[in-house]
Structures are given as C-alpha cells and as structure tokens.
Chain A
Amino acid sequence: MIRSAAILGAAALALAGTLAARATVLNLPAVHDEAVMEGMPRSLSDFRFFDDLSRQLPNDNVIGYRLNTALYSDGADKLRFIYLPEGTKLEAQGQGLLKFPVGAAIIKTFAFGEGEDRRLIETRVLLHREGGWTALPYKWNEEQTEATLALAGARLALTRPDGKAISYRVPNMNQCATCHSIDGEIIPIGPKSRNLPFTWQANLHRVGDLRGSSPELSKDGQSVGWPLLPHWEHRDQVNIDAIARAYLDVNCAHCHQPGGSASNSGLDLRWEQDDPHAIGIRKPPVAAGRGAGGHKVSIAPGDPDASILLYRMQSTEPGVAMPELSRSTVDDEGVAVIRQWIAGMGQ
C-alpha cells in the first residue's frame, strides 16, 4: 500500500503542470480547511496541502500548474499548486487573473537542484479568506522535513547548483504584500489566463474545475480567445516584442501599474498597456534617485545602455536593483531579452 501510494504520488508529480490531478484513491486526511481560513499556522504541514510534504506530492484537490513566463527569483525553481475546496471551481475572467473561490489557496515552493540534490528553501502560501487574501511565508528546515512560519522572513547563504554563492532572501509577510497588492488589497499575481498553458486550462475546463469563457476553444481548438504570453523556454522562436513584454509583465508590472506599489512612478509595464510613454519609452524618471544611473529615460529606443530600466535590471545593489525584492543576482536571460528588445527599437 505504501509503495503504491508512492508510485501514485510520483505519477501525480510527473503530471503536475500539465494535468489536473485530483485523485481520490488515497485514504489520507483532506486539506485542513480551518487552517486555510483562519490564523497563522506555524507549520506548512498544518494545512495538509501535501500527501508527502518533503517530496511535494499534492493532496486531493491540490492541482499543480506552471506559468508560460515566470518571475525570476535568483534562479530558484518553483513548484506551484492551487488548492480548490471540494465542490468549488475556478472562474476565468477574460485574460486576467482567474477568480478563486473563498477557501482556495495558492502554494509556491522555491527550490534549487534536481532529483536527490533538490533543496526546498521556502514555501509561500496565499490563502483566500472571507476578508480577502492572506500571504504567509514558510522556511524549510535543514532536514527538509518541515517548513515553519517565518513572518519576519530570513536571509540565507546558499550555493546554487551552478556554484554561485548567493544571499537569498525569504520575504517577510509584508514583503509578500508589497508585490501582491493593488489599491491596498492583497491579490494573486501569477495565475492569469493569459500566462497559463493552454492545455492546462483546457484540461481543467474539461474536468469541470474551471468555468467561464477562458478555455472556450476557438474553432481550431488551439487558442483561448486571446493571445497567451509566450513560453519563456521558447523565447528564441517568438517575436522579441512579445517575449520582452511578457517578461516585463511578469517581472515588473505587479508593482508598476496603476494601484500597484510603484504607481507613483507613472510607469505601467502591464502586457495590455500600449502607450509607449507609459511603458517607459523616452520617459524621464520621477523618484529613481541614483537608480537612474545617470540615464535620462527609462527606455532609450535603440540604446539599451542609456536605458534606466536595463541599468536597474543589471544591478544587484539595494536602492538601484529592480525588482527591489527577492532578487540578489542578475537575471542574465532576462537582461539579454530586454537588451535585444530595446536595441531593436527605432530611434
């Protein structure tokens, strides 16, 4: 029995991200809804989101997912899950965020390394409670058996699989909210229809976990009715404008949009923004301070090295570096894409 559970679990993990795995064969306790709805559980295991916490094998009603283009977090891998209480559904609302029922949760574990060498660093949970969303950070122990609430965050000395030593920041509860807020309300960022794989949405729709217009397939059965963000791994094969705008949407726009934490900058880097000035083209800085690096505009068409936006992406110095939180290294892949995008703009 134990063995078959493990095999099933492994199968579920393999499917995570492509299929809605809502198995009901295992006789394990369900997700602890009270922990989702109230209080600040001390341990990640209190939620029972996972059948096997260390191996991140999800419990019933916990669905793995991935994003087409993801936020850079010092190169950490992310294991993403959505918990839907029994009998509830997600609802698509156009290309934007999926609507989550009260009682749902989003779980994201940050890890470095593959297979046996994988180290889980932290797990962030977003809980959809009666009064809105609550964000809580959990830090994994050395033994990799449990993650404990780290309200005040932590700073960890880590060596990445590529050998680079980094000072990794586990955000505190407020820092979670800094990125996850619009007009003072905490909201999810990632699970927008436009940034979720088409097959995942179609599958969820088929099994009845997702309703609404989103996966109403077009006649060719190949699209959801609006352009999806391109897949980052396929960036060499897609239009540079699309991949650059996808990157900015995912890495910057949670703060840089009206109502976001950086609204006062006047910079709006959302995918749907089409005003060149709003996305930074020839836009002078407002409160950038030394973050401007001596440059006069956020994006100088044709001149990446005169663009504040790229300058700040290439810095790791607090007060200059963007994003401000959860990044202590430079995202070389992201820098390359943004550099190419700006270089190709007509002057």
Chain B
Amino acid sequence: MIKAVIAASALVVAAPALAETHTIAPGEGAQERLQEALILAKPGDVIALEAGRYSLTDGLSLFVDGVTVQGAGMDKSVLDFSDQQGSGEGLLVTSDGVTLRDFAVENAKGDGIKSKGADQIIYDRLRVEWTNGPDANNGAYGIYPVEARDIVVQDSYVRGASDAGIYVGQSEKIIVRRNRVVENVAGIEIENSNRAEVTENLATLNTGGILVFDLPGLPKVGGGDVLVARNAVIDNNTDNFAPEGNIVASVPAGTGVMVMANTGVVLSDNMLVNNKTSQIMLIAYNQPYEDERYQPRPVNVQVKDNIYGSGGTQPDFPGGDLLAAALGGALPPVLTDGLHQGLHLEDSIPALSLGLTQVGQPLSQASPVPWTPAELEPFPQLRAVQLPASMAARLN
C-alpha cells in the first residue's frame, strides 16, 4: 500500500499538470479579467485573447513562468492603452519561458512591452505601435527585453517609439529577426549586450536604422559579438524626435547602422539605401565617464558583402553639408570618428575618418581624411547563437 502511494505521487510529480487555455474577450472589465488571468495562470497555460479592442487604463503584468499569451493576430487582438493612467509600460513580463504571440499593444504611455530578467522569452508576430507616428511624447521603447538571456524577437512590427522600436539591453544570446521597424528614433538597438544576431529585418523611415551601443556605468557593460546581417536598412532620415538627454537623441538623422563602443561586430550582407548621413558609422562614446570596466571604442568591426545604394548626401551634423560638398556631394558609405580599433572593411567602398585621436575629443576638432584599410589579423568568427531546445520547440 505504501509502495502504491509512493508510485502514485511520483506519477503526479512527473506528469506536468494539464495545461489550460483561459480565453479572454474584450469589453467590460477587460482590465481586471485579463490581469486576473495573468496572475492565476499556471506554468504551461495559454491566455488566449479573442479578436477585438481591449481598452485598458493600467499596465498589465505577467510573473508566471512558461505562460503563452496568444492573440488572434497583430491586427485583430489589440491592447489599447490610449487611456492608460498608471504604470511605466503596457505589458511587463518578469518570468521565464514566456511566449507572446499574435497581438498588438497600441499607444502605451511608457514602454510598449517590457520584459526584465525574463529568460527564454519569445516575442512573435506582435505589433507595438504609437498610432500618431513620430512624436516626442510617445513611449520610449516598443519591444524592450532587458537583463536576460535567450531572447527571440521575430516577425513583429514596431512604429513610433521615441527611443528604440526594438531595444535589447544588458542581455545575452539574442535573436532579432524578420521584424519591420518603421518611424522610430532607433529602429533596432542592441545595448550593453553580448551575442546578438540581428538579421533579415526591415528598418525604414527611422532616424537611425540599427544601433549597436555600449554605455558606461550600467550593471552590465562590455557589449560585443553582434551580427547584423541580411537586413534592409532604407531611408532612415526621419528627424530625431527623441527627448533630449537620451543617448539616441544624439543619433543624426540619416544613420543606417551605427556602432558605438562594443567589441566584435559583423555587418554583412545588408542592403543599405538612401541613409542621408551615413550608411555605416563607427564612433567612440564621447561623454565623460567613470567606469574602469568600460571600453569606449568600437573594436574589431567587420564590414563585408553589403549592398550600398545612394546615401550620405545630407549629413546631419555641424559642418556635414560642407564636408559632403567637398567630397563631391556625398559622404562615402562608411564613416568613422577615427577612434575605432580594428576595422575590417572588406567591401570595395571608400570610407572617411573624422580624424579624432582621443576619446572624448569634440567633433569641432575633427580633421577629416580618407580612411584606408590596414593589414589586420583575420577577423575572429562569431559563434552562432544556439537556443535551448525547449525554446526552439516553442518557435515551431
């Protein structure tokens, strides 16, 4: 008898509780019904959002591991935060193994969807949008995973973020693929992160298309091992509408891909068209800082097999127009402040250096010179990002 009881309880432990689907409909009380479902969900459960518009007055949050929030489509199930009165984001996730799929977040007062410390998260086929388009009063980040490892953001659409459409910060092992980011200040930003693959995205009509940044003074510094490949980075010439004080407020309109600090960045097989300041820009962090861990320069950057369209015709920095005129009407596709270490420029295109020699030197001291490649050691290969098997299964 005792043996049988033990066997039975072992069975209970081994077999995961049957996953349940909790279906939520829009309408009266949606705020409370949806939030309650997110609180009471058990690992493995699905919160299904029926098609329709959910009018919400407060931020939502999910703290249970392994939950899927599944809508009827990014244009069908819409979480509408136009009347939001509290919280710093539309949806906050802090648990691991969460899947967010097929719904939209509109007009959140702060960030759109934030996940903090949420490992193995999948953002799939989402739309995060500020429907009025570029506006300094829009929320900062559309899709915003931070302080986590194993992150996938794919097949999503973000428009109108006053900082970055898709922002991944202080994280590791990141895949951002097949998204469309339109009319944000930064389309995609990878910041203070390691091992990221940004591939097959369309970044257009932003101020800057794709940014790879590392900043001092944060809990995690030393970003690098970032692949930016097979993206279409087109017409990112929208005037910078970021509130001053933020690092992206300093990004010139007309930036295609920008690398600041970071060690080990590959920019390959991208299509870079009509970004009017520069298709590719490499700069050092030029503000004062006190952080002994920090490396302010871009180190080991490989540029190869990209396709370059027109661009560089209206550089958005002081003296940029004169510089372009002096160079025949346009800056070359690659622009560096001169402070990088190890630029592996393997494409047969010209590059321009602003000739700075010290980190922190103001741009007014620039003495532009054509930049010519030096002999370098072969570029070290980046390791491909391998997702845990359980996560790969959720992607199918």
Contacts and interface: CB of A to CB of B under 8 A. Distances in A.
5 contacts: A153-B58, A184-B117, A288-B246, A317-B109, A320-B110
B57 interface: yes
| Listed residue (A152, A167, A317) with the most chain B CB atoms within 10 angstroms of its CB | A152
Interface of B: 31-33, 35-36, 38-40, 57-59, 61-63, 84-88, 92, 94, 108-111, 116-117, 136-141, 144, 146-147, 162-163, 167, 169-170, 215, 217-219, 242-247, 287, 290
B36 A152 contact: yes
A294 B243 contact: yes
> Looking at A155, A177, A290, which has the most chain B CB atoms within 10 Å of its CB?
A290
A291 interface: yes
Nearest to A186: B63
A172 B218 contact: no
Interface of B is mostly: loop
A155 B58 contact: yes
A178 interface: yes
Could you tell me the dominant secondary structure of chain A's interface residues? loop
Contact of A287 (B86, B141, B217, B244): B141
Given A174-B61, A292-B243, A287 B146 contact: yes
Given A178-B61, A284-B287, A328-B85, A294 B169 contact: no
A293 interface: yes
A318 B87 contact: yes
A152 B88 contact: no
A318 B109 contact: yes
Contacts of B140: 287-291, 319
Contacts of A318: 59, 84-88, 109-110
Interface in A137-170: 151-155, 167, 169
A263 interface: yes
Interface in A239-261: 258, 261
Interface string A65-97: 000000000000000000000000000000000
Contacts of A292: 243-246
Nearest to B215: A286
Contact of B61 (A175, A266, A308): A175
Contacts of B218: 264, 266, 286
B245 A296 contact: yes
A187 to B, nearest CB: 15
A283 interface: yes
A174 B40 contact: no
Contacts of B219: 258, 263-264, 266
A137 B35 CA distance: 14
